[in-house]
Amino acid sequence: MESKVHGAWIIHHAKKVQTTTSQDFDSISFAGKCGALLSAISSDSQEQLNNKRLDALAKANFISPKTELPSIITELERQRLISKGKHAIEVLGLTGQTILEHTSTIFNETPHEPYEDAVIGISEIASELPITDTKAREYISDTYKIPSSIVQMTLLMGQGLNFFDSEQISKDEKLIFNGNLFRKKDAKKVNAVISSLNAPEGRLIIELNQKLQSTGCIPLDAAKKILGEDLFNKLHSIGMVDVSVVGNDEGRSYFVTRPAAFSKFSDTIADDALDLAKALVASLTYGMTISSYYRGKIQYISLLMNKLINGGEVGPATAIGSDYQALEMKGVVRITPTGNGRFTMRLLKAEVGKLALSVIQNGDITAESVINIPGAKVTEFLNPETTREYIRKNCTEAVKIQAKNLLDDIRVGGLGK
C-alpha cells in the first residue's frame, strides 16, 4: 500500500474512533490526530504560529490543548516537521500528499497492535473489491499472524466503528465492502457478480486496475478492449467502474475511472481537500452572486484567486471577516483584522485554491445551488458523509460566542486581551 493511501486510512479511522469511547485503536488515533493537526497548522511555505493560535487550531480540530496537544507536538518535533520555541512554533511547508506520508510514518514508528494494521489492510482491500468475511478472516490470519480468536473480534470492531461496512448475504456469511463505493442494498448483487468471476476474468480486472492506478482515467473503448463488453458491463452495473462523459462542439467522449480513486475516503485529508475546495467555491460564489458591492463583492474571480494561490493577500473588506470562517477553522485561510470592521485574507493551502478555481472556471452549477441556500454566508461546511449521518441542532448563543472567541484566537492569537 502506498504510504499516502496508508496515511489517509489512518486519518479516516482516527476520526471514526474520535466519535466513540473506544481505546482499542490508540496508535491509529494518535497518528491520525498528528496528521489532522499537521494539516491545520501547515501551508505550502514555512509558517510561524504563536502558542495561542496553535491552541485555537487544535481546539477547532477537536484536539485537547492540555491533554493531547503536548504529545502531538513532541512527535511532530521528533519527525523534524516543526521547530518549537518558547512562545511559538515554526512549521515546514507541506503539501497534502506529504502530510499523509508523514502520518503513515508516525503510525509505523509508534508501537501498535497487529489488528490495527489489519483494519487498515482490510479497508483498502474492501475498497478495491468487496470481500466475504470468510476470506477476510483468512487474509488477516495469514498476513498479520493474528490468532483466530482475535481475527473475528478485529472484524467486528472494524464494522462497529464503521472502518468498513458489512451486510449479511447468507445465513453464515457477510460481505465486507466500502459503503462510499458500494451500497448496502446492492450487496447480494455485488457478491453474485464477484462470485461468478473466473480466474482469467480476475486477471483482466487486475490489469484494468493497474492501468487506472497509473493513469487515473482511460477512454471507455480502451477499458472495454481490456475487459470485453460483457465483463465491463458486469463491473459497471455494481459500481466497480465509473463512466464519465465530456462534451464539446465536436461531440461526446466517454472515460472510465475507478470510484475508489475519488470516494473511498469520506473524511480524510485526501477527500478533505475536495471538501475544503467545495467550501471555498461556495464562499467565493456567494461573494460573486449575492454579496453586496459595499461589503466586498467579488468581481474578478480569476485575478483574485491567482493572487491568493501565488501567496498574495486580498482585502481589506468587511465580508472577509464572516464569509470564510469554516475555512479559517481548518487552517485553509488566514484572516487578519485591519480595523473599522474590515479584514484581509491570505490563502495557506494553494492546492485547495487551485481546485476551487478550476471548479469555478469550468463548472456552472455552483452559483445556482448556492443562491438557493437560505443564508448562504458560509460560516460552516459539512462534508456529505456528515450531513447524511447527523442532523445537527441549531447553534445556541453560547456556542456562537464560543466560536467567536475561537476565531478571535485564531486571527490575532489573543493579542489585545
User: pLDDT tens digits for 387-398?
Assistant: 323 333 343 444
At 229, list the grid cell.
463488453
The residues spanned by each domain of the chain are 3-112, 198-261, 269-412
Task: Quickly count helices (H) and strands (E) in the chain.
Answer: 21, 12
375 pLDDT band (50/70/90 cuts)?
Answer: very low
Q: Which alpha helices (DSSP H) does 246-383 contain, by range?
A: 260-263, 269-289, 301-309, 320-323, 325-329, 350-362, 366-371
- What pLDDT score does 224 carry? 92
Residue 66: half-sphere exposure toward Cβ, Cα within 13 Å: 0
Residue 62 above 60 pLDDT?
A: yes
Q: Fold match between 3-112 and 198-261?
A: yes
d(CA 222, CA 377): 45
Domain at 198-261, CATH from 1.10.10, 1.20.120, 1.10.3470, 2.70.98: 1.10.10
Report field, pTM of the whole predicted structure over 0.85: no
Residue 128 cell numbers, joined:
478495491
- When the candidates are 1.10.3470, 1.10.10, 1.10.3210, 3.40.50, the CATH number that belongs to 3-112 is 1.10.10
Residue 351 has pLDDT above 80, yes or no: no
Share of the chain above pLDDT 70, in %: 66
Q: At what angle do helices 269-289 and 350-362 cross, to 10 degrees?
A: 50
User: pLDDT tens-digit profile of 151-162?
Assistant: 989 999 998 898
**Residue 31 — very low, low, confident or very high, per pLDDT cuts 50/70/90?**
very high
**What cell numbers appear for 194 in the block?**
464477484
Of 45, 12, 196, 43, the residue nearest 119 (C-alpha): 12
Indicate the range of 210-219, 222-231, 248-257 predicted with least confidence: 248-257
pLDDT band at 358 (very low <50, low <70, confident <90, very high): low
Contact residues for 9 (Cβ-Cβ < 8 A; gap 6+): 120, 123, 124, 265, 268
Q: 347 with 309: CB under 8 angstroms?
A: yes
> Per residue in 394-413, pLDDT tens?
434 444 555 566 666 666 66
Residue pair 332/349 in contact (Cβ under 8 Å)? The answer is: yes
Element (H, E) at 343: strand 342-347
